[in-house]
Chain A
Amino acid sequence: MGIQAYSGSGWVLTKLEELINWGRKRSPWPLPYGTACCGIEMMCALASGYDMARFGAERPSFSPRQADVLIEAGTISKKMVPILQRIYDQMAEPKWVIAMGACACSGGVFRTYSTLQGIDKVIPVDVYVPGCPPRPEGLLYALIKVMEKIEKDHPLRKQFEQLELAGSCGNA
């Protein structure tokens, strides 16, 4: 994006996609989904000491409708799978997922009948944070990685592809 102000109120020259990404990147509202000890570290990262709001994660959204990034922090038991899937389905596009901690990434030490062996078995994951639990810095780094991913996104291309798809269906 190029912003120039020679005189007066100035002008902006940019691509629409970059403008959209610029906006999305700087307000990734997290949906905190803490199910175990990782949740405590996530709270720490959200609170004033580490202050995730510095990166635009200003408002932890407890409604999936208004969230952009699902931070899945903790063990997911198999009994809980439908709840996690439903929450992911309820989030509006665009949405990203951070799997925080060894349990969310792979089941961790719980290689048992009752534990889901990684949340990527049921929902797509964008960033994995290893650790048991990871330090808050790890979560902040993951958020920055999500922001990098948003930056490379092509939101309009996706829209047009969907439009074209819908149009072709209508014609046929």
Chain B
Amino acid sequence: MLKDMVQGCLGPLAVCMNECQGDLSVEVSKPQVLEVLRRLKDDPGLGFDFLSDLFGVDNSDLHKKKPAPKKAAGEGAADAEPEQPGPLPPRFEVIYLLLSLKTNKRLQVKVKVPEDDMTVDSATSIWKAATWPERETFDMYGIRFKGHPDLRKLLMWDEFPAHPLRKDYPLEGLGEERHLIYE
């Protein structure tokens, strides 16, 4: 039922919808994300007025593992990293977790973010609550949010050079250190 209402609210803006164990997720295209979020918030029937969280996902490992089962026979060739034909799906995702305080329904909104265009419109104009999660996503993945009032790193220190939740960043880090400097 929620699926139909969201479909009715978004119409062609919803690229694809998926329901997994009662949790509905809707994928939208990147340029239209603000329009989608505003519609979901302002729709009188849905009323997703609460942004519970916003975060990024790095799918690069997922893309790498996909072709592996097909070529299970040649184990030696697996190290050579054979590229699958066709363009890779976008590496990053930004996921918005919405909650309607009126109907107590939840919805995931997913936006795919390709590596060569890592800018998403900021949701801070719709929910002030997006400020810090967007800063965190910028810090951890390097995804920039256009229109954010103060896009600084949230968790790491300002001079930290990397984006540590990217899958190509090692868990132990690359030896970044911070020291006390007296002026």
Interface residues of A (CB under 8 A from B): 78-79, 81-82, 85-86, 89, 111-114, 122
Contact = CB atoms under 8 A, between A and B. Distances in A.
Nearest to B158: A79
B180 A113 contact: no
A73 B177 CA distance: 21
A113 B176 contact: yes
Closest 7 CB pairs of A and B: A113-B173, A82-B180, A85-B180, A79-B157, A81-B178, A113-B164, A78-B178
A81 B155 contact: no
Nearest to A82: B180
B171 A82 contact: no
Given A78-B157, A79-B156, A79-B157, A112 B171 contact: yes
Report, as a range, how many residues of chain B touch the other chain.
Answer: 10 to 19
Nearest to B175: A113
Contacts of B170: 113
Contacts of A89: 180
B156 A114 contact: yes
B127 interface: no
A122 to B, nearest CB: 8
Contacts of A114: 155-156, 164, 173
Interface string B147-171: 0000000011100001010000111
B132 to A, nearest CB: 16
Contacts of A113: 162, 164, 169-174, 176
A82 B173 contact: no
A86 B180 contact: yes
A125 B176 CA distance: 22
Which one of B170, B177, B178, B181 has the highest number of Cβ atoms from chain A below 10 Å of its Cβ? B178
Nearest to B170: A113
B155 to A, nearest CB: 7
Contacts of B66: none
Contacts of B178: 78-79, 81-82
